[in-house]
Amino acid sequence: MVVYKKPLEIFGRDYEFPNAIPGLPRRLSDLDDLEIGSFETNDKVTLSFWKAGKGDPLIFIPGWSANGAEYINLLYILSKQFEVYVLDQRNHGLSQKVTYGNRISRFSADLHEFLQHIDVKQAHFCGWSMGCSVLWSYIDLFGSGAIKKLALIDEAPSIYCHTDWSEEERIKAGAFASSAERMIDIFSGKTPGNRMAVNTDLFDYYTVEGAPAFENSHTFANEFVPQDMEALIRVQFDHILNDWRDIITHRISVPTLVFSGECSDWVESQRWIASTVPDGNAIIYGEHEHGDHFLALKDPLRFSKELAIFFSPETGK
């Protein structure tokens, strides 16, 4: 059974975003049809999701540590054309924090159950970062029958770099870590970065400076849906060690659009994905176009427009 509540019922008050931006919400209440739903998985975990709009279903799977609150701008824009859902994965956002089931395969099983609970037989899907890995796992376990079109935002097919790989193979895989434990410590803020163990500029771009839309969603998420880092890191070890290149090469059979940027550490792997899937294309944002890992949140107006064009019935198959 799915239970729906209005955001004001959950949060207790409205919220005014710090920056007034044409085309984006000024207040949380501007999303007048926004609802937050919840359901229980078969292993007794309560998961939450955000829903707004009417039309073809569009389902967002956020990246590691992200949640529906950070998608507030995308929900506002795209709900004018689609029935938009954002799933808060277990241990993320408003969903329950548990010490079990913290594997990408379980996250993809949660997605499968989510589709059953909301009674969606087929939808467009968009994964960002770890959300892409969840979608790749979903395709591996359940096939692509529920997927009309697939959008992927800047996820390395393999985070972990094996010592016997050539540099060409590492670049195509997007691999940037040689120690899962060190990467977990760095991403959780327990230790400073070391490029010998984790070679990434990711944190240099995790900033709202020059990105007022990202500041709006970021401050809203921090105030109403604060992160629980101890809960978040439980999935990291499994997430880091997966290699999804076989799924990308052999299992994806739907039109696929890949988003990345020139400032992404693994942009070449994103071009490889787009060239490998049967009906793939890539959009690469430039250095001065918020072309980094957070492009969809930093420029939601441009991203939403390009995503809607791709998902329209007139585009592609």
What's the chain's average pLDDT?
97
Query: What pLDDT does residue 317 have?
Result: 47
Element (H, E) at 60: strand 56-61
pTM above 0.95, yes or no: yes
Among all chains, which residue has been given the structure tokens 């949380």?
28
Q: Tell me the pLDDT tens digit for each residue of 88-116.
A: 999 999 999 999 999 999 999 999 999 99
At residue 78, the 3 state secondary structure works out as helix
Using alpha carbons, list the distances in angstroms from residue 120 to 59, 105, 116, 178: 10, 20, 7, 39
Q: Tell me the pLDDT tens digit for each residue of 19-30.
A: 999 999 999 999
Please tell me the class of the 3-311 domain: alpha beta
Residues in the chain, pLDDT under 50: 317
User: Exposed, middle or buried by CB within 10 Å (0-12, 13-18, 19+), for 56?
Assistant: middle
Q: State the CB neighbour count (10 A cutoff) for residue 284.
A: 18
Query: What pLDDT does residue 316 have?
Result: 53
DSSP 22: T
Query: What pLDDT does residue 93 have?
Result: 98
CA 75 to chain centre: 13
Beta-bridge mates of residue 3: 38
